[in-house]
């Protein structure tokens, strides 16, 4: 599966949970390429382990910011956190992107992740992807219902 992700942006996956998980699982951490497709770039995947508290998850985000990777895949990092803790972890992603990385986020609460997003990738039921800007309030209301 190939995706073009903008460097310096946080992109959030939107769509059915199962489809988002399939996309994240299909991405190969060893095959990241630059925009021209000629040079390999580093990929760093960030995910939480059972029992990780908010501080450990923010430390994982900081490690991604310090890593030499150009692409950072954030795979359900906020699962099981309270709303304030989820917001703290998601807010920390901004510094990863502004450090010159492309950040792709799949979160159990994609609406919360939109607070730090620059753009979205929508997955339709058939598995197709379409890029877009951060969604409007009407779409957020639809997602929340």
At residue 33, the pLDDT reads: 61
Q: What is the mean pLDDT of residues 74-100?
A: 93
What is the token pair recorded at 93? Answer: 């992603």
CB-based contacts of 84, cutoff 8 Å, min separation 6: none
Check whether 101 has a pLDDT greater than 70: yes
Check whether 81 has a pLDDT greater than 90: yes
Residue 9 near residue 102, CB atoms below 8 Å: yes
Whether CATH 3.20.20.10 fits 10-144? no
Give residue-wise pLDDT tens across range 46-59: 999 888 999 999 99
Question: The whole model's pTM is what?
Answer: 0.83
At residue 24, the pLDDT reads: 87
Angle between helices 83-98 and 54-66 (to 10 degrees): 10
Domain ranges of the chain: 10-144
């Amino acid at each position: 599966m190939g995706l073009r992700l903008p460097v310096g942006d946080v992109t959030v996956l939107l769509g059915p949970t199962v489809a988002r998980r399939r996309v994240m699982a299909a991405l190969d951490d060893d095959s990241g390429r630059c925009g021209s497709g000629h040079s390999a770039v580093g990929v760093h995947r960030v995910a939480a382990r059972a029992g990780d508290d908010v501080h450990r998850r923010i430390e994982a985000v900081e490690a991604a910011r310090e890593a030499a990777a150009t692409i950072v895949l954030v795979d359900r990092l906020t699962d099981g956190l309270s709303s304030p803790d989820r917001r703290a972890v998601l807010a920390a992603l901004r510094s990863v992107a502004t450090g010159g990385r492309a950040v792709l986020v799949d979160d159990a609460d994609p609406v919360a992740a939109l607070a730090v997003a620059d753009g979205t990738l929508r997955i339709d039921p058939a598995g197709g992807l379409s890029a877009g800007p951060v969604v409007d309030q009407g779409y957020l209301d639809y997602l929340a219902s």
